[in-house]
Amino acid sequence: MLPLTLHRLDLASDADPADCLTRVEPRHGLLTATDLSATRGDGIFETVVVVDGVPQALAAHLDRFERSAAMLDLPAPRRDLWLSAVAAAAEALHEHTRRGAVKFVMSRGDEAAGDAPTGWALGFAPDSRPASGAPELDVVLLDRGYRHDVAQTSPWLLQGAKTLSYAVNMAALREARRRGAQDVIFTSIDGFILEGPNATVIARIDGVYVTPPVELGLLPGTTQSDAFAALESWGDSVATRRIDVAELRRADAVWLCSSTRGVAPVRSLDGEPLTVDDRMSDRLNHALDARKA
Ligand code: PLP
């Protein structure tokens, strides 16, 4: 990732949003060494893709940001302020690139100061999508080690919140590389398909596009949601339901989707080839890029 723009948010103030935003050099220091984002990964974030200056699915990202804040007992984000921060970052980003992304972050704050949460919005150029076509992925299934009902039995594990603690997700991606793959689909200990370390799963099973339900402790995917809206508008059938491992292995096609990369087709699962539907991947990515909000 190439950092291009940075805005700091003053989360202690209740002034107009414009007066709570400061543009700073993207490479300059922003945090103290005692900020809880750095020392404990204690905070939340969102990454929204920006095409031609338009932050896509921003309302859904803000909804999810609010959901994560509630799950972590963080103060409810001021929607007008975060909206302005992303808009300012997107505008600044547009000077640098046609296709970029804004990562906006709220940390619990500085442990030593004990004051308000820390907030920032970073505009960057993602490196996860080639200029033409979607990358095809070799994927391995990895056991997440939780049952499918972990979100109900153990909400303190924060499954389904978008927290800053992504070390486990990064470790899973390293394990994929050790196994000769590029990505991961997590499974529950009792055999259900969950999500990728930074992506939602869509599988086409018997002609129906299926994604697992968020009740399994998953992040509600904004890209998956917009991909399903596009599929429905074309008359395709979609469903949100549990998928077991055997079903995924016999799927007609599988995709991993996320804001920065759109939909990426899976070409192999644990070394076994899967059918790739390039036409549908391109059609979906085209529809996602054409979003106006
Ligand atoms: N699931 C996880 C764990 C993620 O980290 C992400 C995005 O980074 C997604 C799913 C996909 O979400 P979205 O499509 O909103 O980017």
CATH number at residue 34: 3.30.470.10
* Distance (Å) from CA 200 to ligand 1 centroid: 6
- Tell me, using a 6 A CB cutoff, whether residue 263 lines ligand 1: no
- Specify the pLDDT at position 2: 87
pTM: 0.96
Going by alpha carbons, the residue nearest to atom 8 of ligand 1 is: 198
Low-confidence ranges of the chain (pLDDT < 70): 128-133
Which of these three, 93, 125, 157, is where a domain ends? 125
Q: Which domain holds residue 191?
A: 137-289
Q: Are residues 143 and 114 in the same domain?
A: no
Q: Are residues 164 and 72 in the same domain?
A: no
* Top mutation candidate among 124, 200, 261 for ligand 1, by most atoms within 8 Å of CB: 200
**CA 249 to each of CA 149, 228, 270, 273: distance values in angstroms, whole numbers, following the listed order:** 22, 21, 9, 9
Mind listing the pLDDT tens digit for each residue in 128-147?
555 556 789 999 999 999 99
Q: Are residues 285 and 141 in the same domain?
A: yes
**CA 253 to each of CA 106, 159, 201, 281: distance values in angstroms, whole numbers, following the listed order:** 37, 26, 11, 10
DSSP H stretches of helix in the chain: 36-40, 58-71, 79-94, 150-153, 167-178, 222-233, 245-249, 278-289
With DSSP H G I counted as helix, E B as strand and the rest as coil, what are the percentages for the chain, rounded to 5?
A: 30, 30, 40
Which of these three, 91, 125, 159, is where a domain ends? 125
Q: How many domains does the chain have?
A: 2
Residue 96 phi, psi dihedral angles, 5° rounding? -105, -35
Q: Are residues 161 and 277 in the same domain?
A: yes
Give Dmax over CA atoms of the chain in angstroms: 56
Q: Are residues 154 and 87 in the same domain?
A: no
d(CA 76, CA 164): 17
Could you tell me how many residues make up the chain? 293
* Top mutation candidate among 63, 184, 198 for ligand 1, by most atoms within 8 Å of CB: 198
Q: Quick check: is 132 in a domain?
A: no
Mind listing the pLDDT tens digit for each residue in 248-285?
999 999 999 999 999 999 999 999 999 999 999 999 99
Q: Are residues 100 and 149 in the same domain?
A: no
Q: Are residues 156 and 276 in the same domain?
A: yes
- Enter the ipTM: 0.99
Q: Are residues 143 and 256 in the same domain?
A: yes
Q: Are residues 44 and 186 in the same domain?
A: no
- Tell me, using a 6 A CB cutoff, whether residue 259 lines ligand 1: yes
Q: Are residues 168 and 96 in the same domain?
A: no
Q: Are residues 115 and 145 in the same domain?
A: no
Q: Are residues 119 and 64 in the same domain?
A: yes
CATH of the domain at 235: 3.20.10.10
